[in-house]
Amino acid sequence: MSPADHMITKHQCQKLMIAIEEYSAKDKSLGVTHDPSNNKLTVHDHEKNIITLRYPAAWGPYPQSIKLDQLSDHLTEDPSTILIVLIHAGYAAIGTLIDNQLAATKMIRKYMVRKTQGKAQLTYLNTKGKSRLGSRIRLSRSVEFFQEINQEMERHINWEIPERIIYSASPRIWSMIFQSQISCPFEKDDPRLLKLSMHVHRPNREELERVGHWTNLANIVIQSEYLSIYTKFLEQINSIIGNPRNN
């Protein structure tokens, strides 16, 4: 059976976290793993995950040492300012979200992809030489691309210091941010950083708005094969989430 995957509101997420904490305290066959740095909680039977709950991306950041029963004191403390950074090869969208409103945006576009292979220039150069004129031009624009991203992020941060930095980029592209000649305005282990768990389309203003809306939603995945085992627990979960929107 496929898992049930739902998007829920932050208020439903708050109720779920309390219900999970209370139920797991009674039923010792259930374990709870809390990962505050990734805004994630899993309920398991000490072997397999039963429920995975991702908190709204707008929540946090939390100290890695914070306990689940301590988290309830912080649930209403949404950050007022969030920096959103979306990067694909040759495309970037940067926006500052203030009180759930997109207050400032910047789109960056550079020619970095070979049309015939569809590869980003940085990837292509791992297997081919740099002697061709087209390759040199794309390489130059790739360097400019990351420099401009860092300049724009610094401009946004200087304008309004974010309490949370949410980003979407492949590991290779994200690493180039910290190798640019123009320094990234934050460290790679900045506690405000949170990588998006949602699929992001080509970065543009519309995608910034979609991600901004998503930051206030939580996601719950329930493994269907456990429905008949933890009936009462899952009935309680379903009573909280009601008829959520499928992801």
pTM of whole model > 0.85? no
Q: pLDDT by residue for the chain (247 residues), tens digit each?
A: 567 888 998 888 888 888 888 888 888 888 888 888 888 989 888 778 888 999 898 887 777 777 777 776 666 566 689 999 999 988 999 999 998 899 999 999 987 655 545 455 455 444 454 555 455 555 667 889 999 999 999 999 999 999 999 999 999 999 999 999 999 999 999 999 999 988 999 999 999 999 999 998 999 998 877 766 777 777 888 888 875 444 4
For residue 222, the cross-strand partners are 4, 51
* Best CA proximity match to 52, nearest among 33, 69, 71, 66: 33
- What span, in angstroms and rounded, lies between the C-alpha atoms of 223 and 241? 15
